[in-house]
Amino acid sequence: MFGLGTTEALIVLAIIVLMFGGRKLPELGRSMGKAITNFKQGMKDDGNDKDKKVDPPEDNS
């Protein structure tokens, strides 16, 4: 896990709990999960846009 040992992971977790509080952690986790899901969906949709043809711009001169 990112090169962290068990002790370091517990220390990071304790700092996060102190910073955000126990009540905010589920909300924070939910928000992070939604952000990751939206990012993955956006990356997936981005690949589909390359297959679509784009009309050339009109010449207005």
Q: What DSSP letter does each residue of 1-61 carry, written as one string? A: -TT--HHHHHHHHHHHHHHH-TTTHHHHHHHHHHHHHHHHHHHHHHHHHTTS--PPPP---
Note the Cα 56 to chain centre separation in Å: 34
* Position 7 confidence tier, pLDDT thresholds 50, 70, 90: very high
Amino acid making up residue 14: A
* Structure-block tokens of residue 49: 């846009």
Whether the pTM exceeds 0.85: the reply is: no
Q: What is the pLDDT of residue 17?
A: 86
